[in-house]
Amino acid sequence: MIRQPQLEFWYEFASTYSYLAAMRIEKAAAEAGVVLLWRPFLLGPVFKAQGLETSPFALYPVKGRYMWRDMEREAARLGLPFYRPKTFPQNGFLAARIALIGVEPGWTPAFTKAVYTAEFGEGRDIADPAVLASILTDLGLEPETVLSEAEGEANKTRLRRMGDEVQSRGLFGAPTFFTEDGEMFWGNDRLEQALGWAVAQARRSDWPV
Protein backbone atom coordinates (compact mmCIF):
# COMPACT_ATOMS: atom_id res chain seq x y z
CA MET A 1 0.00 0.00 0.00
CA ILE A 2 1.20 3.48 -0.88
CA ARG A 3 0.34 6.46 1.25
CA GLN A 4 -0.98 9.61 -0.44
CA PRO A 5 1.68 11.99 -1.71
CA GLN A 6 1.73 15.53 -0.32
CA LEU A 7 2.24 18.90 -1.94
CA GLU A 8 3.13 22.14 -0.16
CA PHE A 9 1.23 25.14 -1.55
CA TRP A 10 2.93 28.45 -0.67
CA TYR A 11 0.86 31.54 -1.43
CA GLU A 12 0.83 35.28 -0.74
CA PHE A 13 -2.49 37.09 -0.38
CA ALA A 14 -1.41 40.02 -2.57
CA SER A 15 -0.41 37.69 -5.42
CA THR A 16 -2.77 37.56 -8.38
CA TYR A 17 -1.60 34.19 -9.69
CA SER A 18 -1.81 32.75 -6.15
CA TYR A 19 -5.53 33.62 -6.34
CA LEU A 20 -5.97 31.52 -9.48
CA ALA A 21 -4.07 28.63 -7.91
CA ALA A 22 -5.95 28.77 -4.60
CA MET A 23 -9.33 28.65 -6.29
CA ARG A 24 -8.59 25.52 -8.35
CA ILE A 25 -5.98 23.58 -6.38
CA GLU A 26 -8.34 21.51 -4.21
CA LYS A 27 -10.16 19.94 -7.15
CA ALA A 28 -6.91 19.32 -9.04
CA ALA A 29 -5.21 17.78 -5.99
CA ALA A 30 -8.21 15.58 -5.19
CA GLU A 31 -8.28 14.27 -8.76
CA ALA A 32 -4.55 13.49 -8.55
CA GLY A 33 -4.90 11.90 -5.11
CA VAL A 34 -2.53 14.40 -3.54
CA VAL A 35 -2.85 15.85 -0.02
CA LEU A 36 -2.35 19.61 0.19
CA LEU A 37 -0.35 21.43 2.84
CA TRP A 38 -1.49 25.08 2.82
CA ARG A 39 1.35 27.51 3.48
CA PRO A 40 0.44 31.21 3.66
CA PHE A 41 3.55 33.42 3.70
CA LEU A 42 4.74 36.99 3.14
CA LEU A 43 6.44 37.65 -0.17
CA GLY A 44 7.73 41.12 0.75
CA PRO A 45 10.84 39.93 2.64
CA VAL A 46 11.59 37.45 -0.16
CA PHE A 47 11.46 40.25 -2.75
CA LYS A 48 13.60 42.49 -0.54
CA ALA A 49 16.27 39.78 -0.29
CA GLN A 50 16.44 39.87 -4.11
CA GLY A 51 16.83 43.65 -4.13
CA LEU A 52 13.20 44.21 -5.17
CA GLU A 53 11.44 46.93 -3.16
CA THR A 54 7.98 45.81 -4.29
CA SER A 55 6.29 43.42 -6.74
CA PRO A 56 8.07 43.09 -10.12
CA PHE A 57 4.67 43.90 -11.65
CA ALA A 58 4.83 47.31 -9.96
CA LEU A 59 8.55 47.79 -10.66
CA TYR A 60 8.23 46.94 -14.36
CA PRO A 61 5.04 48.66 -15.58
CA VAL A 62 4.95 47.10 -19.06
CA LYS A 63 5.06 43.67 -17.44
CA GLY A 64 2.43 44.80 -14.95
CA ARG A 65 0.06 45.95 -17.70
CA TYR A 66 0.36 42.57 -19.38
CA MET A 67 -0.24 40.74 -16.09
CA TRP A 68 -3.62 42.47 -15.59
CA ARG A 69 -4.70 41.52 -19.08
CA ASP A 70 -3.45 37.97 -18.63
CA MET A 71 -5.34 37.73 -15.32
CA GLU A 72 -8.57 38.82 -17.03
CA ARG A 73 -8.12 36.13 -19.66
CA GLU A 74 -7.03 33.36 -17.28
CA ALA A 75 -9.77 34.11 -14.74
CA ALA A 76 -12.34 33.96 -17.55
CA ARG A 77 -10.87 30.69 -18.80
CA LEU A 78 -11.06 29.20 -15.30
CA GLY A 79 -14.56 30.55 -14.70
CA LEU A 80 -13.49 32.85 -11.86
CA PRO A 81 -14.60 36.43 -11.19
CA PHE A 82 -11.86 39.02 -11.48
CA TYR A 83 -11.65 42.53 -10.12
CA ARG A 84 -8.48 44.59 -10.32
CA PRO A 85 -7.80 46.03 -6.85
CA LYS A 86 -7.50 49.82 -6.63
CA THR A 87 -4.08 49.46 -5.04
CA PHE A 88 -1.54 46.77 -5.88
CA PRO A 89 0.03 44.97 -4.21
CA GLN A 90 -2.50 44.82 -1.38
CA ASN A 91 -1.25 44.51 2.19
CA GLY A 92 -1.76 40.83 3.09
CA PHE A 93 0.03 40.82 6.47
CA LEU A 94 -3.02 40.34 8.67
CA ALA A 95 -4.67 37.83 6.32
CA ALA A 96 -1.50 35.70 6.28
CA ARG A 97 -1.22 35.81 10.08
CA ILE A 98 -4.81 34.66 10.41
CA ALA A 99 -4.46 31.95 7.77
CA LEU A 100 -1.48 30.48 9.59
CA ILE A 101 -3.61 29.91 12.71
CA GLY A 102 -6.19 27.91 10.78
CA VAL A 103 -3.78 25.36 9.31
CA GLU A 104 -4.06 22.82 12.11
CA PRO A 105 -7.78 23.23 12.92
CA GLY A 106 -8.35 22.98 9.16
CA TRP A 107 -10.19 26.19 8.25
CA THR A 108 -7.31 27.74 6.30
CA PRO A 109 -8.48 26.57 2.83
CA ALA A 110 -11.96 28.07 3.30
CA PHE A 111 -10.56 31.27 4.83
CA THR A 112 -8.00 31.62 2.04
CA LYS A 113 -10.57 31.26 -0.73
CA ALA A 114 -12.91 33.74 0.99
CA VAL A 115 -10.12 36.32 1.31
CA TYR A 116 -9.08 35.93 -2.35
CA THR A 117 -12.71 36.22 -3.43
CA ALA A 118 -13.13 39.42 -1.39
CA GLU A 119 -9.91 40.83 -2.88
CA PHE A 120 -9.97 39.78 -6.52
CA GLY A 121 -13.63 38.92 -6.97
CA GLU A 122 -15.18 41.88 -5.17
CA GLY A 123 -12.42 44.50 -4.91
CA ARG A 124 -12.49 44.73 -1.11
CA ASP A 125 -9.53 45.84 1.03
CA ILE A 126 -8.04 42.77 2.71
CA ALA A 127 -5.88 44.90 5.03
CA ASP A 128 -9.13 46.03 6.74
CA PRO A 129 -9.64 43.95 9.92
CA ALA A 130 -13.42 44.36 9.53
CA VAL A 131 -13.34 42.59 6.16
CA LEU A 132 -11.36 39.70 7.63
CA ALA A 133 -13.52 39.58 10.78
CA SER A 134 -16.61 39.26 8.63
CA ILE A 135 -15.04 36.31 6.78
CA LEU A 136 -14.15 34.63 10.09
CA THR A 137 -17.71 35.08 11.33
CA ASP A 138 -19.04 33.50 8.14
CA LEU A 139 -16.80 30.51 8.88
CA GLY A 140 -18.33 30.16 12.34
CA LEU A 141 -15.24 31.45 14.12
CA GLU A 142 -14.91 34.07 16.83
CA PRO A 143 -13.17 37.04 15.13
CA GLU A 144 -11.85 38.73 18.28
CA THR A 145 -10.16 35.59 19.54
CA VAL A 146 -8.63 34.76 16.18
CA LEU A 147 -7.45 38.32 15.49
CA SER A 148 -5.84 38.58 18.89
CA GLU A 149 -3.98 35.29 18.42
CA ALA A 150 -3.02 36.31 14.87
CA GLU A 151 -1.42 39.55 16.04
CA GLY A 152 0.40 37.89 18.93
CA GLU A 153 4.20 37.91 18.84
CA ALA A 154 4.41 34.10 18.78
CA ASN A 155 2.34 33.88 15.59
CA LYS A 156 4.13 36.76 13.86
CA THR A 157 7.49 35.18 14.66
CA ARG A 158 6.32 31.82 13.37
CA LEU A 159 5.17 33.37 10.08
CA ARG A 160 8.49 35.19 9.67
CA ARG A 161 10.51 32.04 10.40
CA MET A 162 8.51 29.98 7.93
CA GLY A 163 9.25 32.62 5.29
CA ASP A 164 12.97 32.56 6.08
CA GLU A 165 13.02 28.78 5.97
CA VAL A 166 11.23 28.46 2.62
CA GLN A 167 13.43 31.19 1.14
CA SER A 168 16.44 29.06 2.05
CA ARG A 169 14.85 26.27 -0.04
CA GLY A 170 14.92 28.49 -3.14
CA LEU A 171 11.48 30.12 -3.16
CA PHE A 172 11.49 33.52 -4.90
CA GLY A 173 7.83 34.15 -5.86
CA ALA A 174 4.25 32.97 -5.47
CA PRO A 175 2.51 30.67 -5.81
CA THR A 176 5.19 28.02 -5.27
CA PHE A 177 4.71 24.29 -4.86
CA PHE A 178 7.13 21.83 -3.22
CA THR A 179 6.93 18.06 -3.51
CA GLU A 180 8.22 15.88 -0.66
CA ASP A 181 11.55 15.27 -2.38
CA GLY A 182 12.17 19.05 -2.45
CA GLU A 183 11.30 19.69 -6.10
CA MET A 184 10.08 23.29 -6.54
CA PHE A 185 7.50 24.52 -9.06
CA TRP A 186 6.67 28.20 -9.48
CA GLY A 187 3.47 29.71 -10.77
CA ASN A 188 -0.15 28.75 -11.30
CA ASP A 189 0.93 27.41 -14.72
CA ARG A 190 3.01 24.70 -13.03
CA LEU A 191 0.31 23.26 -10.76
CA GLU A 192 -0.31 20.27 -13.02
CA GLN A 193 3.42 19.46 -13.29
CA ALA A 194 3.80 19.78 -9.51
CA LEU A 195 0.94 17.35 -8.87
CA GLY A 196 2.29 14.96 -11.49
CA TRP A 197 5.73 15.07 -9.89
CA ALA A 198 4.28 14.44 -6.43
CA VAL A 199 2.43 11.35 -7.69
CA ALA A 200 5.40 9.98 -9.66
CA GLN A 201 7.72 10.50 -6.72
CA ALA A 202 5.39 8.61 -4.38
CA ARG A 203 5.29 5.69 -6.84
CA ARG A 204 9.08 5.63 -7.10
CA SER A 205 9.73 5.69 -3.41
CA ASP A 206 6.91 3.25 -2.62
CA TRP A 207 6.72 4.30 1.01
CA PRO A 208 5.55 1.81 3.55
CA VAL A 209 2.53 3.03 5.48
Q: Does 66 bind its own copies (CB under 8 A)?
A: yes
- Residue 110 makes CB contacts below 8 A (sequence gap 6+) with 139
Measuring CA to CA, how many Å separate 20 from each of 3, 42, 44, 60?
28, 17, 20, 22
Q: Does 63 bind its own copies (CB under 8 A)?
A: yes
- Segment contacting its own copies by CB under 8 A, of 66-74, 88-96, 102-110, 145-153: 66-74
Opening angle at CA 194, ends 191 and 195, nearest 5: 90
Q: Does 73 bind its own copies (CB under 8 A)?
A: yes
Tell me whether residue 70 or residue 142 sits nearer to its own copies (CB atom): 70
**Near its own copies by CB under 8 A: residue from 68, 83, 186, 207:** 186
- Residue 76 makes CB contacts below 8 A (sequence gap 6+) with 82
What is residue 168's three-state secondary structure?
Answer: helix
55 is catalytic: no
User: Smallest distance from the beta carbon of 77 to its own copies, in angstroms?
Assistant: 7
User: Smallest distance from the beta carbon of 47 to its own copies, in angstroms?
Assistant: 10
Q: Does 137 bind its own copies (CB under 8 A)?
A: no
- How far, in Å, CA of 111 to CA of 62, rounded? 33
Q: Does 189 bind its own copies (CB under 8 A)?
A: yes
Q: Does 44 bind its own copies (CB under 8 A)?
A: no
Strands (E), 120-183: 176-179
- How far, in Å, CA of 198 to CA of 185, rounded? 11
User: Quick count: other Cβ atoms within 10 Å of Cβ 176?
Assistant: 27
Q: Does 50 bind its own copies (CB under 8 A)?
A: yes
Are the beta carbons of 202 and 38 closer than 8 angstroms?
no
Q: Does 184 bind its own copies (CB under 8 A)?
A: yes
Q: Does 60 bind its own copies (CB under 8 A)?
A: yes
User: Smallest distance from the beta carbon of 201 to its own copies, in angstroms?
Assistant: 13
- Segment contacting its own copies by CB under 8 A, of 2-10, 29-37, 59-67, 112-120: 59-67
* Burial call 45-81: b when 16+ CB within 10 Å, e when fewer: ebbeeeebeebebeeeeeeeeebeeebeebbeeeebe
Q: Does 145 bind its own copies (CB under 8 A)?
A: no
The footprint of its own copies (CB under 8 A) covers: 50-52, 56, 60, 62-63, 65-66, 69-70, 73, 77, 170, 172-173, 184-186, 189-190, 193
